[in-house]
């Protein structure tokens, strides 16, 4: 049979099946069909009518702004496993981060900056940034953190959050905008200021930026919207499904620890648990030749 006649025959057969209601939904969709004949569907998202970052309004009437926000909402809504993990981790870590932000005079919305930087893990980047706030070594030291082969306080959630706050307040004072302060966390203060001067604007949303910084604030906005309204975006969970912080006791000391595994055993835990709660301790010992005061967290009894 000639190819043309073969194609005509196939099309005729398909039309007959459709007209007879004998074609299955699986032939009409690329997605899996359940027993009731319903297929998985991907819906367009309705953008929020009003959105702000740190009290600064996002101009949602501008078409490029709407498209950039829509992109980040879609990406994060339909990457369901990742977003569910973020929601679980946020329940564990947000209370401490929010407390520090309030004490430091930094808007609570900046907790979402830590989410896009590290997914609320003590992450390491190929460029050398580490911790929840992805601080580079020089920046961390500039804002008072100890960073060496023995101790790396970028992994100390409380101290690194306070260091990030110092940067953000300095950026806010420089730019007069929390949104630009957030953008500068990605671009750097100098780089952000140079672009503002070159393009003769004073607003993040008016800047033409590289891909990463152009997405940066919109990723924060998208996470704020989804994590503040999880059920609206299809994320269903119970309190028991979320991760929870473990109560700890803090042991202060200004001496060296020659063996952390032995120290942990003395505290009736093991080395693994000690490092989980004190990831800033890099090696199996604490040098402390300068007699610096440290606080080591030991989980309360009964949680492990």
Give residue 38's pLDDT: 76
- What are the pLDDT digits (tens) for 100-159? 999 999 999 999 999 999 999 999 999 999 999 999 999 999 999 999 999 999 999 999
- The domain boundary, picked from 214, 241, 268, lies at 241
Q: Which domain holds residue 64?
A: 52-241
- The domain boundary, picked from 215, 241, 267, lies at 241
Q: Is there a domain that residue 120 lies in? A: yes
- The domain boundary, picked from 241, 259, 291, lies at 241
Total number of domains constituting the chain: 3
- Same domain? 196 vs 268: no
Please report, rounded to a whole number, the percentage of residues in the chain having pLDDT higher than 70: 88
**Residue 23 binned pLDDT confidence (cut-offs 50, 70, 90):** very low
- What are the pLDDT digits (tens) for 249-300? 999 999 999 999 999 999 999 999 999 999 999 999 999 999 999 999 999 9
- Same domain? 203 vs 272: no
Q: Which residue has the tokens 């309204």?
A: 229
- Same domain? 9 vs 64: no
**What mean pLDDT value characterizes the chain?**
92
Q: Assess whether pLDDT exceeds 80 at residue 16.
A: no
Helices (H) and strands (E) in the chain, counts: 11, 4
Please report, rounded to a whole number, the percentage of residues in the chain having pLDDT higher than 90: 85
Helix (H, G, I), strand (E, B) or coil at 21: coil
Q: What is the CA radius of gyration of the chain?
A: 26
- Same domain? 176 vs 285: no
- Same domain? 253 vs 136: no
Q: Is there a domain that residue 173 lies in? A: yes
């Amino acid at each position: 049979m000639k190819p043309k006649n073969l194609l005509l025959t196939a099309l005729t057969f398909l039309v007959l099946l459709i007209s007879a209601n004998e074609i299955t939904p699986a032939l009409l969709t690329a997605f899996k069909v359940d027993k009731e004949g319903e297929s998985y569907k991907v819906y367009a998202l309705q953008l929020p009518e009003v959105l702000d970052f740190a009290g600064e309004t996002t101009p949602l009437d501008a078409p490029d702004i709407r498209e950039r926000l829509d992109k980040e909402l879609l990406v994060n809504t339909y990457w369901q496993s990742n977003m569910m993990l973020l929601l679980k981790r946020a329940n564990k870590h947000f209370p401490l981060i929010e407390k520090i932000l309030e004490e430091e005079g930094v808007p609570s919305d900046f907790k979402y900056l830590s989410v896009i930087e590290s997914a609320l893990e003590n992450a390491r980047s190929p460029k050398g940034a580490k911790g929840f706030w992805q601080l580079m070594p020089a920046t961390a030291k500039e804002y008072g953190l100890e960073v060496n082969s023995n101790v790396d306080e970028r992994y100390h959630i409380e101290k690194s959050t306070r260091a990030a706050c110092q940067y953000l307040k300095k950026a806010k004072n420089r730019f007069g905008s929390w949104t630009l302060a957030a953008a500068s966390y990605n671009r750097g203060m100098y780089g952000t200021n140079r672009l503002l001067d070159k393009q003769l604007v004073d607003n993040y949303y008016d800047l033409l930026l590289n891909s990463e910084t152009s997405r940066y604030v919109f990723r924060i906005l998208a996470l704020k919207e989804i994590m503040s309204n999880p059920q609206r975006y299809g994320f269903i969970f119970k309190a028991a499904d979320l991760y929870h912080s473990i109560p700890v006791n803090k042991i202060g000391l200004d001496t060296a620890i020659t063996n952390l595994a032995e120290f942990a055993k003395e505290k009736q835990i093991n080395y693994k648990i000690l490092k989980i709660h004190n990831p800033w301790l890099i090696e199996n010992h604490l040098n402390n030749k300068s007699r610096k005061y440290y606080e080591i967290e030991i989980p309360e009894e009964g949680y492990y």
